[in-house]
Structure 1
């Protein structure tokens, strides 16, 4: 796993913990309090899910442009660069699927049901906040990974850095022999 991906996943985990720590500020809730808070927070969490789906889908589509730019680069990028792009695509796809599943579950009208015991609302509320924190942290991790990859491409393609770890040394040697 590359340094960019490790750094991004660490940043996403820290962001998730910071967002999740807000639940501890609320303290222990009763079932009724959790139900009221759940009702008021569902629209915001649904909006978060929609934002994560839209943003992640856009990132995935724009990665095709990133690949074409990488391919057209005068200096050949080594396989590690393409592994980084593949990792971003994989994590981004997982994030999209997770956000869609969360969105579907959050749209079950659980607060309208008379069959759900009041004690469950506390658990459902904390799970909902946890899912929101994970989605937010995941999006931060994806954006951080993408930033690292784009910064490397700018260094290599735009600024012509040839001693970068992602530049294929074999390609440089072949070019100097010609």
Structure 2
């Protein structure tokens, strides 16, 4: 056992972007009616929480804090991930941020961000890309199959940028 005090490690934007990407991949895998995407969110943020809370008891409380109901559109809801990471980072450093504040931010933003994301991603971007892919494929072009790859590429680029933006905005608003 070390006699040195345990301090949270620094969080980088790369950590935030990778955390969001992990969430993007697993968001719909562990869905339940009670918590919807909470397990995916918690799984995505877990490497960050492990960096911030070296004490097992603090880590346990942080994990429990994020296993409450959560549901939003994964790509355009990415700023929520960044904001929550910024809040967790400040909490780990001793800022007076209680659990209800972190949960309240997540709850307050998940609906509006889902509405924005669903209208842009599901109602605009997907039909355009799928329509072009079908047209190309119907005309015998193999490009139609590859055209479908544009969707996840765009989603990943946009989501990673939005998560980093949310992190920066969260840091600026807490100071």
Larger relative contact order (Cα-Cα within 8 Å, sequence gap ≥ 6)? 1
Same topology, TM > 0.5: no
More helix by share: 1
- Normalised TM-score (structure 1): 0.31
Larger-Rg structure: 1
TM-score (norm 2): 0.31
